[in-house]
Amino acid sequence: MTLSLFDQFLSPVMFWIPLVAIAITLPWILFPGPTTRWVNNRSLTSQNWLLSQATSQIFLPINTPGHKWALLLSSLLIFLITMNTAGLLPYTFTPTSQLSINMGLAGALWMGVVILGMRTQPTHSLGHLLPEGAPALLTPILVIIETISLFIRPIALGVRLTANLTAGHLLIQLTSTATLVLLTIMPLTAIATGTLLFLLALLEAAVALIQAYVFVLLLSLYLQENV
Domain boundaries, the chain: 15-33+40-226
Check if the beta carbon of residue 80 is closer than 8 Å to that of residue 215.
yes
R_g of the chain, CA atoms, integer Å: 22
pLDDT on residue 2? 47
Whole-angstrom distance, CA of residue 175 vs CA of residue 183: 12
pLDDT on residue 134? 67
* Bridge partners (DSSP) listed for residue 65: none
Tell me which residues of the chain have a pLDDT lower than 70. Answer: 1-12, 14, 17-24, 26-35, 37, 39-40, 91, 133-134
Backbone torsions φ then ψ of 17, nearest 5 degrees: -115, 120
Check if the beta carbon of residue 203 is closer than 8 Å to that of residue 211.
no
Whole-angstrom distance, CA of residue 35 vs CA of residue 93: 31
Check if the beta carbon of residue 175 is closer than 8 Å to that of residue 196.
yes
pLDDT on residue 1? 43
Task: Report yes or no on whether pTM surpasses 0.85.
Answer: no
Of 104, 82, 97, 109, the C-alpha closest to 25 is 82
Of 70, 65, 98, the C-alpha closest to 83 is 98
pLDDT digits (tens, 9 = 90+) for 56-112: 777 777 777 777 887 888 888 888 888 888 778 776 777 888 888 888 889 998 888
Q: Cα dist. 18→90, 99, 101, 201 in Å?
A: 19, 16, 14, 27
